[in-house]
Amino acid sequence: MDSCPLDVTQEPFDLSKGIPFTITPNVFDEDNVREAYPVTIEADVTDPCRGSDIMKVTSDETKGLKIATIGGESNKPDSCFQFVEADMMPGLRSYQIQLCPFKCGTNTTTSLNCYNVGLVANDVGQKILATTEVIYPVVFTNSFEKAVLSAPNQSLTASL
């Protein structure tokens, strides 16, 4: 079985923290991750496929889905994400991840659509990150210490 590219999946236990992701703004001279601004999401993994660690969405015809994998390029349409507030979890600030191809790189389509990204069960019950019609709220936890947070040009790190 070919394991490349690496799919972005959920840990089998809901409360497991998983691996961290670094979220970097694609806007020139922007130091902060802002709502609805284009970002690159990079996984903190050792990639056996020897590609990049940047998340992208690709069509997987065998699964009939557009799934998130590792191996994208920064500021390219298939690796262009944004976070929008999705106030669905009382007491917690939650966000929805969206793929927004028109906001990055050289976009060859005229579509100005963004697509929700969330967990979808595959044919063996494993939860994979893919485009979906369902809103899947995400809550971020800060993994930097206070001294690092105040430094300019730092990216946000989160676990999905």
**pLDDT tens digit sequence for 47-56:** 677 778 899 9
Q: Is there a domain that residue 146 lies in?
A: yes
Q: Identify the CA nearest to 70 among candidates 56, 80, 59.
A: 56
Q: Is there a domain that residue 40 lies in?
A: yes
CA distance 147 to 140: 19
Q: Is there a domain that residue 10 lies in?
A: no
| Domains contained in the chain, number | 1
How many helices (H) does the chain have, and how many strands (E)?
Answer: 1, 10
Residue 24 has pLDDT above 80, yes or no: yes
Q: pLDDT tens digits for 135-154?
A: 888 887 766 543 333 233 33
Q: Is there a domain that residue 48 lies in?
A: yes
Q: Is there a domain that residue 130 lies in?
A: yes
Structure tokens at 6: 């690496």
Model confidence at 11, in pLDDT bands (50, 70, 90)? confident
pLDDT cut 90: percent of the chain above it: 27
Please calculate the CA angle 159-103-37 and round it to the nearest 5 degrees: 50
Q: Is there a domain that residue 158 lies in?
A: no
What CATH number corresponds to the domain at position 72? 2.80.10.50
CA distance 6 to 16: 19
Q: Is there a domain that residue 117 lies in?
A: yes
pLDDT cut 70: percent of the chain above it: 81
Q: Is there a domain that residue 5 lies in?
A: no
The structure's pTM equals 0.79
Alpha helices in the chain (DSSP H): 146-149
Structure tokens at 49: 């496929």
Length in residues, the chain: 160
Are the C-beta atoms of 110 and 102 separated by less than 8 Å? no
Q: pLDDT tens digits for 66-108?
A: 999 889 999 999 999 999 988 777 788 888 999 999 999 876 7
